[in-house]
Structure 1
Amino acid sequence: MHYRCLVLDHDDTVVRSAETVNYPALVEKLRRDHPDRSITFREFMLEVFDRTFSGMCQDFLHLTPEETQEQFEFWKVYVRTHIPPAYEGMDALLHDFRAQGGLVCVSSHSGLENITRDYQRDFGFTPDRIYSFELPPEQRKPSPFALEDIMRRYSLRPQELLMVDDMRTGLDMARAVGVPFACAGWSHTEPEIADSMRQNCSCYLRSVDALRALVFGD
């Protein structure tokens, strides 16, 4: 294998969550609490890409920090009964990687509870380390805290890790500490997002099979 550790984003990298869970949860909460405000799926995707979820809530939807936190709490309840499907091929890739001694870690703005559930449900194991939304804000992406912590814990060099993410926050954290980055382009539905990521990273992958080829050198 080319890498000893995969550091994976969760939403729209490992599971297809934007269209199946995250956007519907946001719309439902807005309908209940702020019926005067709305956002299309396209706007949702572009805003989250440009500002992150918290930035979208505050700058586009004009929610207070407290209302933004309420959105997150509602989402945590919503995702317990609305489970996003994993991308085809991810299960086999992760099992083959672990079978050869690879470490699988997660760095995500999602919650610890649903990341753990999705991995156990879809793949039958728990990641070696999970860095989730519950971290202090200064340690969340795009902070390189997760990568630095993984390298320290497992005595790994930057080139032994591969950061896989569909968003720029993952690219920024990888660049900060010299960790190779691969863009999960299989989740991109908006051309603007795909074009931006292609222009800013050297490894843009269109499919999970392409990630497999990169990881195993096929």
Structure 2
Amino acid sequence: MLRFDCLVLDHDDTAVRSTPTIHYPSFSATLQQLRPGQSISLQRFAELCYDPGFEPLCSRVLAFTPEEMKIQEQNWLAAVRRTRAPFWPGMVPLLARYAAAGGHICVVSHSNEDTIRQDYAAAGAPAPELVFGWEQGPGRRKPSPWPLQQIMARWQLAPDQLLMVDDLKPGWEMARACGVPFAAAGWGVLCDAARRDLQARADWYLERVEQLEDLLYSRT
């Protein structure tokens, strides 16, 4: 018997391993294009994406102009189109078993819906029933509670019938605003500051994908 009727997943670094395989290489290439000779390690990139965040990293730390921000976005979109982010080992069979047991799978992410659906299809994972991506706009993106409110309304679910899984704080903020249980995807956390923060905030801090499967079915 399922413990949660609906599994709400973040995408990047929660379902798929995208920062080391797509986002960081794309960013590094853009940095060499716009700031020749300057480099940022993967670890430092993860730290800066956590605090102050990716947009402030570009606009404040690196002082990208609006024109340079457009170049960064174009380079990133090109990288996303040519490379499929791999799902974390064990995630696709976990989703298949969960869907077969009658669970609803939804995605709330800062990636685009088209990219998310293409990643799921390419991996042979069950298609998410609802996807709320970056295209929803500022007032409807996480950490706004709007995506979770829409999911609960779709199936008339109470907050405790959902489980939100994310590797960063915006997912936790959204879940907290709705009273939805939150599990931190520790397998995708790339910096110590985020790890400490999520360990302190999350209802469950999961180090491995297998622990998520245990949580979905366990009543203890």
Report the TM-score range of the alignment, normalised by the length of the smaller protein: over 0.9
Secondary structure (helix, strand or coil) at the match of 1:98 reads helix
Secondary structure (helix, strand or coil) at the match of 2:117 reads helix
In the alignment, structure 2 segments of 5+ residues that lack a partner are: none
Q: Is the 8 A contact 1:111 1:132 kept in 2?
A: yes
**Match of 1:10?**
11
User: C-alpha root-mean-square deviation of aligned residues, in Å?
Assistant: 1.7
Q: Would the alpha carbon gap of residues 124 and 214 (structure 1) be closer, same or farther in structure 2, given more than 3 Å must change?
A: closer
**Match of 1:89?**
90
Query: How far has the Cα of 1:116 moved from its partner?
Result: 0.9
**Match of 2:44?**
43
Q: Would the alpha carbon gap of residues 175 and 206 (structure 1) be closer, same or farther in structure 2, given more than 3 Å must change?
A: same
Q: Give the residue type in structure 2 aligned to 1:61.
A: L
Query: How far has the Cα of 1:65 moved from its partner?
Result: 4.8
Q: Say how many residue pairs are matched.
A: 218
**Match of 1:160?**
161
> Deviations along 1:29-53, whole A, 9 cap, x unmatched?
2222332653221221011112332
Secondary structure (helix, strand or coil) at the match of 1:113 reads helix
Q: Would the alpha carbon gap of residues 68 and 152 (structure 1) be closer, same or farther in structure 2, given more than 3 Å must change?
A: farther
Q: Is the 8 A contact 1:166 1:183 kept in 2?
A: yes
Which is worse superposed, 77-86 or 96-105? Answer: 77-86
Query: How far has the Cα of 1:70 moved from its partner?
Result: 3.7
Q: Is the 8 A contact 1:54 1:68 kept in 2?
A: no
**Match of 1:214?**
215
Which is worse superposed, 138-147 or 162-171? Answer: 138-147
Secondary structure (helix, strand or coil) at the match of 1:94 reads helix
Query: How far has the Cα of 1:81 moved from its partner?
Result: 1.7
Secondary structure (helix, strand or coil) at the match of 1:139 reads coil
Secondary structure (helix, strand or coil) at the match of 1:134 reads helix
Q: Give the residue type in structure 1 aligned to 2:14.
A: T
**Match of 1:27?**
28
Identity of aligned residues (%): 39
In the alignment, structure 1 segments of 5+ residues that lack a partner are: none
* Separation of aligned partners in 2, 1:165 and 1:117: 20
**Match of 1:127?**
128
Q: Would the alpha carbon gap of residues 23 and 99 (structure 1) be closer, same or farther in structure 2, given more than 3 Å must change?
A: same
Q: Give the residue type in structure 2 aligned to 1:138.
A: G
> Deviations along 1:135-154, whole A, 9 cap, x unmatched?
11121111111101111122
Q: Is the 8 A contact 2:22 2:80 kept in 1?
A: yes
Q: Is the 8 A contact 2:187 2:207 kept in 1?
A: yes
Secondary structure (helix, strand or coil) at the match of 2:135 reads coil
* Separation of aligned partners in 2, 1:214 and 1:102: 13
TM-score (norm 2): 0.92
